[in-house]
Amino acid sequence: MAAREITYVQALNEALREEMRRDERVFLMGEDIGIIGGVFKVTQGLYEEFGPERVRDTPISETAIVGAAIGAAIAGMRPVAEIMYMDFLMCAGDQLINHLPKIRFMTGGKLKVPAVIRTQYGLYRYAAAQHSQFYPAFLMNIPGFYIEVPSTPYDAKGLLKSAIRDENPDIFIECAALYRIKGPVPEEEYLIPLGQADIKREGNDVTVFALSYMVHVALSAAKKLEAEGISVEVVDPRTLNPFDKRTLIESVKKTGRLVIIEPDHKTAGVGAEVAAIVAEEAYEYLNAPVIRLAAEDIPPPFSPKAYNAFLPNEEKLINAIKKVMKYKR
C-alpha cells in the first residue's frame, strides 16, 4: 500500500468521510461539529459535503446526544455521536450505562445498537480536573461496549472505520495530545479488526504494555534503551474490549518481564486488569514482578509542573525497565 504522512485528525476525518460516502445511514451528531467543523477540526468540511441532515449540530446536552444516537441506531441508522470531552460522558450516565450497552442483550439480539460514541481526553493539555480525565477501566467494567483507544493516525482511521461498521455500541476514545502527530496512512481503504493488538516494536528482554499516548513514550524509551543493550517489545492493545490476550501473553512468554504504562489512574485501572491476566495465564513465564506505571490517584492538576509529575513519563519508564532487568530466575 502507498503511504502518506497525515495527522491523527486528518485520519479520523478521512474515516468519517469515507464511511459517510459508503453508507448513507451513517450520520454525525454533536456539539459544534457542523458549521465550525468541531473544536478539534475532526469534522471539518463534512457539513459542506453532506449537509445539516447528516452532520447535525446538537444542543449542549450529552444525555440528548447519546439518547438520540441510541434511538437512531435501533431504527436502522448508524450514528457517530461526539462527546467533546470524555469528562462529560457521565452527564449521559443513564443512557450510557443503563441503555446503550444493554439493549441488544435484553432483547436477545433482536435489537441492535450500532452507535459509535466518539470522545477525547485532554492529556498534556493542562486543562485541569474537569477536562483531563481518562477512565477507560470504568467503561471496561460495563459489559456490552466495544472500546477503541488508537495511538497512531493509521490505527485511528482503521479502527474508526471498523467501529462504524460494527453491530455493537462502540466507545471510541481519542487523545487530544495526539491530534497533530503525523504518521503513515495508506490511500487505499483498509480496516483494522477489533480485538487485535499490535506490536509496535519487537524486542526480547522486556514487554511494555502501553496504552494510548503512552505508546509514543514507550517507543522513545525503547530506542534509548537499545543503545544500552536492552531490547524492549512495545505492545499496543488498540482495543480494550475485545481485548487481545493472546498477543500480550505470547510477548510475556518471550521476554519474561512486563512493565505497564498507562495515563489512567493506577487503582483499579487498565493495568490492574492486564497484570491480573498475566498472573492468571502466564505467571510461570515471569522472571520479575510486574511493574505498573500510571497517573497518581488524585484529580488531574492544572499546574503544568504538577500535571507532569502526576503522569507517568519516559524517565519513570526507563527506570522501571532497568529495575525488572535486574531480576533473574
Any residues with CB less than 8 A from the CB of 255 and at least 6 apart, and which? 203, 204, 205, 206, 207, 233
Return d(Cα 136, Cα 240) in angstroms, integer. 8
User: What burial class does residue 164 get, using C-beta atoms within 10 Å of its C-beta: 0-12 exposed, 13-18 middle, 19+ buried?
Assistant: buried
CA distances (Å), origin 258, targets 14, 142, 227, 300: 36, 26, 20, 26
CB 292 within 8 A of CB 320: no
Residues whose CB is less than 8 angstroms from the CB of residue 60 and which lie 6 or more positions away in sequence, other chains included: 31
What residues contact 113, with CB distance under 8 A and at least 6 apart?
A: 70, 73, 74, 100, 103, 104, 168, 169
**How many degrees, rounded to 5, is the angle at CA 239 between CA 234 and CA 244?**
70
Which entry of 99, 131, 216, 265 is annotated as an active-site residue?
131
Nearest 5°: phi and psi at 255? -95, -30
Catalytic, 131? Answer yes
Dist CA 258 CA 209 (whole Å) = 7
Which residues belong to the active site?
131
